[in-house]
Structure 1
Amino acid sequence: MYKIIAQINKILLPSFTKQRLDLAKAKKWQMAIIGWRYYVTTKALGN
């Protein structure tokens, strides 16, 4: 299930690493997206 969500995230959500976003200067909504993507990716790799 998490693998499917990870694929959807990859398509729909922006990649901040490609934009070279500085985490110290990230806004709260950007940090929320980063956290969500991290959570889903770790769950997808763990299963």
Structure 2
Amino acid sequence: MKKSMFKFLAKLNKLILPSFTKKELDLTKAKKWQLAVIGWRAYVTMNALD
């Protein structure tokens, strides 16, 4: 149940949230909201892969 929820969230993130790696964002110059999006995407991805 938990894993399927995170897989759904990962697909939703891919559709809705921006990809900063494609934009070649420098993490040292990223704004706080951009770091929050990166952290959220990493959290969801890690839980979807477990």
TM-score (norm 1): 0.97
Distance across 2 between alignment mates of 1:13 and 1:30: 10
- RMSD value over aligned CA atoms? 0.2
Aligned residues: 46
State the 4+ residue runs in structure 1 displaced beyond 2 angstroms.
Answer: none
From 15, 20, 23, the counterpart of 2:19: 15
Aligned to 1:38: 42
Greater radius of gyration (CA): 2
TM-score, normalised by the number of residues in structure 2:
0.91
Alpha-carbon distance between aligned partners in 1 of 2:41 and 2:9, rounded to the nearest angstrom: 9
Give aligned-pair identity as a percent: 65
Structure 1 unaligned blocks of 5 or more: none
Contiguous gaps of at least 5 residues in structure 2: none
Q: Which amino acid aligns with 1:39?
A: Y
**Counterpart residue type for residue 6 of structure 1:** A
Alignment-derived partner of residue 28 in structure 1: 32
Aligned equivalents of 1:11, 1:4: Cα separation in 2: 11
